[in-house]
Amino acid sequence: MRALSHCYLWVVLLLLVFVIPSSAQNWRQVGPQGGDVQSLAAVPGSTQVLYMGTSDGHVFGSTNGGENWQLLGRIGANHDDVIMSMVVDPRSKDTIYATSWTLSSRGGGVYRSANAGHTWQLIGLEGHAVRAIALAPSNPDTIVAAATDGVYRSMDSGKTWNRISPENHQDLRNFDSVAIDPHESNTIYAGTYHLPWKTVDGGKTWSPIHQGMVDDSDVMSITVDQNAPSHLFASACSGIYHSADGGNAWTKFKGIPNDSRRTVHILQDPKRPRTIYAATTEGLWKTSDDGANWKLVTPATWSILSILIDPVNSDRLILGTERLGVQVSDNGGVSYSAANQGFSHRRIVDAAVDPQHSERAIVVLTTSFEPMLQTSDGGRSWSPLGSGLKSGPPRHVFASPGGWFAAPGPGGLIRYDVAKGSWVPVNQIMETVAPARSSHAASMKKISTGKSRSPAISSGSSVARSVVPFRAKVNDMTFGSDAWFAASDEGLFVSRDRGMNWISVPFTPAQSTHVSPMIDSNSNLLPVRTVRLSTGSSYIWVVTPKQLETSGDHGKTWISRPLPFESRGTPHLDITNDGTVVLAGEQGLFLSHDSGATWRQASLSELQIRDLAPVNGSIVAGGNDGSLFFTRDGAKTWAHMDGPAFDNSLAALRSGDSANELVVASSTEGLFLLDFGLASSAAVDRDATSPASSK
């Protein structure tokens, strides 16, 4: 018994010692706000209680009409569940139904939450790509789901499901929308990628209802007029339509330009039946005279994915957009305000933080609409920074002492010119050594010996310089007091004029006077993955696919040592204050105490390291899965720390040294800031018995 007690006490002590307490960490989400809103739902009767679904399975909620949002839970086991539709049970504001389909994994189905979106249960159609769902207004126990392989119905609130469309039918497949008659639950409308269909007997028989519609129309939504059930609206890739006779004949609305015909939703004003809104991929269109005239009531650049109209105040519109999150209008579309407080769901590729002013940051997004955003006030506000970009979102961004730099995808290097308010390309200086003419004696020697010898570069040699556009693909940058370096697929470059012009750095082996660029056995320039400077900026560290190159004389001569692994992608390198080299990548984390001559692997080897960040005298390592570890003793021991509350992978780790802040960029949920000085002081390092200690 005594031994058991001692063992139990030891386990408790390990738990207390090896983890930074969550209470010691005050992570702060700083945006950028907004993101893709795939679906919206409201508790029937108002728009005060709202639910939002995203394209990666996250569900957000608001209890004050969208003024503030909170991440409630998530649907599905992976991060590719697209929540196409949501609906709230009119009998219980806490009961929500949602449908999903997955981009890659075999997921999808119908989900239900009984606690206002905090937890979700798969209740049917597992593995089916379910695109839409509807509850019968006359009997909410009846649920109809439209999937790519058919229409399904549950008569018992999702306990059991039955296919009500014929199996393997040539046309009754690839369903994209569904609606139920408000008075007769056996009357169901369903739109396919091709045309709409109707059943009046609960699916026993189906009839095509496409007269008047352009053939091969993807019917993305069907809406039934709740006051006149025979009056229908449908939106399709070919335009928007209405029918006065239950779908027997359709008439296309006129007045919307052809390039706005991909209409995702069409909704009727509940108080003014002649007012109709069409949510398209090129803005929101509105008619107040039953379709005779239409006008665009948002910027054409907005892509509207979902829309709600407040049943109490029908001038209040809530739009779910692509990229821009939720936009709200209280005057029928005359003006809008963003309603994204608490909702930060941008897809981030890379981020950079001004090391001396950590309130200044920049992020790269996976969208050509707003490829880059910057903040100068710690995330309270963000503004676009895309002027001058010609090739979409860049691969990387960097914070130099003189401003932002970016590496475009096709190659090259650009810097942000504050005076011009635009990104401008930098130059590469090409140097060619032209030797002096051979002397008469050398010529006579050649004649007498019959051998040709290359003359040494004499004092009379000249260096010809030409300026060309910088074309190399840049992987990394580092900045010293008088020299800035760029690691690229075509070698190492240096700038001594604060990034305006760049010159290729020759890799001269130590103990040799032969000057040549670093080349492989095939005389091709080796790519440089990473470059770093250590104390004083005179010691340079360069990582190529197989070697660590070091120079202690400002790059005049270099020493090559093999890496402990062949680097794939961009490895991460840092040098501690005592000279320990920390190298991390997909193969784990490695340490060297002799400038790379020998290596040993830390037991963080089970992690695929996404990034390293030096902060407040420590080094933080982040895994692809979002896990975080840090060391304060030159990488001898590592401690686990609780990361911010995001449910996705890590995009980048950055540090603001002047403020002792650690910045974590989630791949989908924005930036998070932590005062690392306070957090690390609350932790005790792991000892040799810890699973995360160095071996």
pLDDT at 256: 77
Q: Is the residue at 627 inside a domain?
A: yes
Q: Is the residue at 220 inside a domain?
A: no
261: left (phi over 0), alpha (psi -120 to 50) or beta: alpha
Task: Flag whether pLDDT at 11 surpasses 80.
Answer: no
Q: Is the residue at 582 inside a domain?
A: yes
- When pLDDT is averaged across residues 473-483 and rounded to a whole number, the result is 93
User: Tens digit of pLDDT for each residue in 623-636?
Assistant: 887 888 888 887 88
- When pLDDT is averaged across residues 86-97 and rounded to a whole number, the result is 95
3-state helix, strand, coil in the chain (%, to 5): 5, 45, 50
- Which residue is associated with the tokens 């990229």? 323
210 pairs with which residues across the strands?
none
Q: Is the residue at 177 inside a domain?
A: no
**Which of these ranges, 308-317, 411-420, 469-478, 584-593, has the smallest mean pLDDT?**
584-593
Task: Flag whether pLDDT at 544 surpasses 60.
Answer: yes
User: Tens digit of pLDDT for each residue in 274-321?
Assistant: 999 999 999 999 999 988 899 999 999 999 999 999 999 999 999 999
Distance (Å, whole) CA 591 – CA 581: 6
pLDDT at 25: 62
Q: Is the residue at 666 inside a domain?
A: yes
Task: Residue 658: give the domain boundaries.
Answer: 572-695
pTM of the predicted model over 0.75:
yes
Task: Flag whether pLDDT at 401 surpasses 50.
Answer: yes
User: Tens digit of pLDDT for each residue in 655-670?
Assistant: 865 557 888 998 888 8
Structure-derived torsion over alpha carbons of residues 629, 635, 636, 637, reported in degrees to the nearest 10:
-10
Domain termination site, one of 107, 125, 143: 125
CA distances from 278 to 59, 223, 242, 390 (A): 25, 12, 12, 32
Residue 61's pLDDT band (cuts 50, 70, 90): very high
Task: Flag whether pLDDT at 597 surpasses 70.
Answer: yes
CA distances from 491 to 469, 531, 601 (A): 16, 11, 27
User: Tens digit of pLDDT for each residue in 456-476?
Assistant: 344 555 667 899 999 999 999
Q: Is the residue at 420 inside a domain?
A: no
Distance (Å, whole) CA 555 – CA 515: 12
Q: Is the residue at 105 inside a domain?
A: yes
- When pLDDT is averaged across residues 519-534 and rounded to a whole number, the result is 70
pLDDT at 255: 77
Supply the CATH number for residue 621's domain: 2.120.10.30
Domain tally, the chain:
2
User: Tens digit of pLDDT for each residue in 195-252?
Assistant: 999 999 999 999 999 999 988 788 999 999 988 999 999 998 888 899 999 999 999 9
Peptide bond into 517 cis (omega under 30): no
CA 550, distance to chain mean position in Å, is 34
- Residue 298 or residue 454, greater confidence: 298
Domain termination site, one of 105, 125, 145: 125
pLDDT at 21: 42
pLDDT at 14: 30
Q: Is the residue at 633 inside a domain?
A: yes
Domain termination site, one of 104, 125, 146: 125
pLDDT at 537: 61
pLDDT mean across residues, the chain:
84
